């Protein structure tokens, strides 16, 4: 075989999201773009805030000497300080630049963290439904993914299930809030209880367990909700995030990781993370983007536009008989499949030129994901197709 056996196996189980996106390209060529309703890929349809464009023009017109050279592998000090200052305000803790590493997006940050902490065969708990790439990231660094379901009705943390799944090999638990694909925001009391659980286990075993909080949607919260900062709630915690969603910059691959200043091993962890950022081949986060986001830590895309789309879609689909938890944030709906086989349902939807992702791709058979960071007009144009699909599967009868 021309490629590694492991990668060949991964390819056979690779992302449903990309598969359906590619199917969308085929259908658009066959039926026309306005006839195909593609809700597969979380690729924001909004433009970055005007403050980003202003900063970009200013930097292009007044370039800094050496602005395209290498810098410290952790990133520019002024950018890390800007990130730290925002997190200090949110957490009420003394977060400093030395606890921040700028990365190539949240995906880069997760790989850096896992490389820094995992020994071969150690376990990383992922909470279903989960982001599809977690398993591959864990495998990249010799870890073993352990799937644990959240509450199946609310998608909130199931502390009993988490406690039962902890073993002497447990090294980390990845949480994602607001969650992709459910949109659920974990409450402060849930996170504090998780912190107490991990602290109890660590006291009993003297084995450090990290909580890795994956937060690229943290600023996309609706109905006046906020995403609790994890640092005051869980001592051994690391935040990984990006500006892909809050600044609509997914293609620029700019993010960061931050170690909780309360973590006893924070600086040892950061030293390892800086080393891994280099040796994984990232070297450093993109220099130009670091310069720009330093001054944009309080900027964001228009959250109200996303909430409007959420409400429009949620109200229509629930009226047709689809059952789902109303998302607190992010830009996904995660309804129950009206037929048992979610993959079969996705195929039925495709007959109506509706492109979706089955819940099986997120470790959650029996559900499906809808992305609503798309043009509002497409959402509205899709409603007759949803009506026909609902009728075909017997909803509303």
pLDDT at 331 over 70: yes
Going by pLDDT thresholds of 50, 70 and 90, the confidence category of residue 131 is very high
Q: What is the mean pLDDT of the chain?
A: 94
**Which residues make up the CATH 3.40.640.10 domain(s) of the chain?**
69-293
3-class SS letters over the chain:
CCCCHHHHHHHHCCCHHHHHHHHHHHHHHHHCHHHCEECCCCCCCCCCCHHHHHHHHHHHHCCCCCCCCCCCCCCCHHHHHHHHHHHHHHHCCCCCHHHEEEECHHHHHHHHHHHHHCCCCCEEEEEECCCCCHHHHHHHCCCEEEEEECCCCCCCCCHHHHHHHCCCCEEEEEEECCCCCCCCCCCHHHHHHHHHHHHHHHHHHCCCCEEEEECCCCCCECCCCCCCCCCCCCCCEEEEEECCCCCCCHHHCCEEEEECCCCCCHHHHHHHHHHHHHHCCCCCCCHHHHHHHCCCCCCCCCHHHHHHHHHHHHHHHHHHCCCCCCCCECCEECCECCCCCHHHHHHHHHHCCEECEEHHHHCCCCEEEEECCCCHHHHHHHHHHHHHHHHHCCCCC
Residue 31 predicted with pLDDT over 80:
no
pLDDT single digits (tens) 296-321:
999 999 999 999 999 999 999 999 99
Q: What is the pLDDT of residue 188?
A: 98
Least confident of 31-35, 52-56, 268-272: 31-35
Q: Where do you find CATH 3.90.1150.10 in the chain?
A: 5-48+301-392
How high is the pLDDT of residue 8? Answer: 78
9 versus 76: which is more confidently predicted? Answer: 76
pLDDT category at 120 given cuts 50, 70, 90 is very high
**CATH code for residues 69-293:** 3.40.640.10
Is the per-residue pLDDT at 30 higher than 80? Answer: no
pLDDT of 4: 86
pLDDT reported for residue 26: 80
pLDDT of residue 17: 66
Query: What would the pLDDT profile of 138-197 be if each residue is shown by its tens digit?
Result: 999 999 999 999 999 999 999 999 999 999 999 999 999 999 999 999 999 999 999 999
Per residue in 355-371, pLDDT (tens digit) is: 999 999 999 999 999 99
Q: What is the mean pLDDT of residues 53-73?
A: 95
Entry pTM: 0.95
Q: Which CATH number fits domain 5-48+301-392: 3.90.1150.10, 3.40.50.10490, 3.30.360.10, 2.40.430.10?
A: 3.90.1150.10
């Amino acid at each position: 075989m021309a490629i590694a056996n492991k990668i060949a196996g991964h390819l056979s189980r690779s992302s449903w999201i990309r598969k359906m996106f590619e199917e969308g390209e085929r259908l658009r060529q066959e039926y026309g773009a306005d006839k195909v309703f593609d809700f597969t890929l979380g690729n924001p349809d909004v433009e970055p805030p005007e403050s980003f464009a202003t900063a970009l023009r200013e930097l292009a017109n007044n370039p800094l000497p050496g602005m395209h050279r290498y810098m410290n592998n952790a990133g520019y000090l002024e950018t890390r300080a800007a990130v730290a200052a925002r997190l200090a305000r949110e957490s009420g803790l003394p977060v400093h630049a030395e606890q921040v590493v700028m990365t190539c997006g949240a995906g880069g940050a997760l790989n850096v963290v896992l490389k820094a902490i995992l020994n071969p065969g150690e376990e990383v708990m992922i909470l279903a439904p989960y982001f599809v790439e977690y398993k591959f990231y864990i495998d990249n660094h010799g870890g073993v993914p352990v799937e644990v379901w959240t509450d199946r009705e609310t998608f909130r943390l199931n502390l009993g299930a988490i406690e039962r799944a902890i073993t002497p090999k447990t090294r980390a638990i990845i949480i994602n809030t607001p969650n992709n694909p459910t949109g659920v925001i974990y409450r402060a009391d849930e996170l504090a209880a998780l912190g107490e659980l991990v602290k109890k286990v660590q006291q009993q075993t003297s084995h450090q367990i990290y909580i890795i909080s994956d937060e690229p949607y943290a600023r996309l919260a609706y109905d006046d909700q906020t995403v609790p900062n994890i640092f005051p709630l869980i001592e051994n915690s690391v935040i990984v995030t990006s500006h892909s969603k809050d600044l609509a910059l997914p293609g620029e691959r700019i993010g960061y990781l931050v170690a909780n200043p309360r973590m006893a091993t924070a600086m040892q962890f950061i030293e390892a993370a800086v080393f891994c950022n280099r040796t994984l081949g990232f070297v450093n986060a993109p220099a130009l983007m670091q310069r720009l986001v330093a001054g944009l830590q309080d900027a964001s895309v228009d959250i109200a536009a996303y909430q409007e789309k959420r409400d429009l879609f949620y109200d229509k689909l629930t009226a047709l008989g689809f059952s789902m938890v109303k998302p607190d944030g992010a830009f996904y709906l995660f309804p129950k499949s009206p037929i048992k086989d979610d993959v079969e349902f996705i195929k039925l939807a495709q007959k109506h030129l509706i492109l979706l992702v089955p819940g099986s791709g997120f470790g959650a058979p029996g559900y499906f994901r809808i992305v609503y960071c798309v043009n509002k007009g497409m959402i509205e144009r899709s409603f007759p197709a949803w009506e026909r699909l609902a009728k075909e599967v017997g909803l509303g009868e």
